[in-house]
Amino acid sequence: MVRADREILDVLFGAVSDRTRRHLFERVAERPGMTTGELAGTVTGLTRYAVMKHLEVLRRAGLVQTLPEGRRRRHYGVERALEPAREWLESQAGPLAPS
């Protein structure tokens, strides 16, 4: 595996390692086009600012795309963004020791 591939995996796995980010990613996948405020309403105690910070991590990982719409920002999951992680996981699924 080349270094660039490892770096991509590090960013992807880092982004989804946080429970709140996974939740936000799941909401965007279920309902594309949600606004930051709508996403903030899906997690108790999470401010819009905190949602923005989590979305930035998801964007840097290539998992979410954000498009401006006037004063609002709408968020969309990126198709096939998890493909490198899926491919790596499948490549690791060789013979395993019995449990």
pLDDT band at 89 (very low <50, low <70, confident <90, very high): confident
Q: 26, 45 in Cβ contact below 8 A?
A: no
Domain boundaries of the chain, sorted by first residue: 3-83
The pLDDT of residue 1 is 66
Instruction: State the pTM of this model.
Output: 0.86
CATH classification for the domain delimited by 3-83, as one of 1.10.3720.10, 1.10.10.10, 3.30.300.160, 1.10.357.10: 1.10.10.10
**Residues in a beta bridge with 34:** 75
